[in-house]
Copies of this chain bind each other. A is one copy, B any other.
Amino acid sequence: MEIVIRPIGIIHSPFTDPHQTPIQPTRSDAVGLVEVYPEFAPGLQDIDGLSHLILLYVFHRSSGYSLRVTPFLDDQPRGLFSTRYPSRPNPIGLSIVRLLSRRENILEIEGVDVLDGTPLLDIKPYVPDFDIRQDVQTGWYATRSVRD
């Protein structure tokens, strides 16, 4: 089974160097722009009322993958699916960002952690009742200070 996906837009960010890009939006207050291609703009109706969006996008600078990787936050190899490492069998990334404003098909967002020119696949509303879980155990992450 193969599925063909096509970007619905592009994410503009201040980051052009993977080594200088924040590893997660909570570590970034960088502002960026989500340019939704005009043919999809009608789908942005009602989005202005949302404070946070889930962006799905392509890790377009990654190629290939290993099933064991040493994450940015760690110093020993971990199973790929217990990490957010960008090189994956399906290199789809996920970030939660704050929506600052919209001008037609352009969204201004805060908390950008992706490279400039990242292809956008989807935008979903971030809804606490769906997306917030309590009593979470984070495995190897718990041994690392993810706020450092």
A residues apposed to B, CB below 8 Å: 1-8, 24-26, 36, 40, 42-52, 54, 56, 58, 67-68, 78-84, 88-90, 92, 94, 96, 98, 119, 121-133, 135-142, 146-147
Contact = CB atoms under 8 A, between A and B. Distances in A.
Nearest to A10: B1
Contacts of A25: 130
Interface residues of chain A: helix, strand, loop or mixed (majority)? mixed
A45 B19 CA distance: 26
Contact of A24 (B8, B44, B129): B129
A134 B142 CA distance: 21
Q: Which 6 A-B pairs have the closest CB atoms?
A: A49-B139, A45-B79, A43-B80, A43-B67, A51-B137, A46-B82
A94 B139 contact: no
A146 B125 CA distance: 13
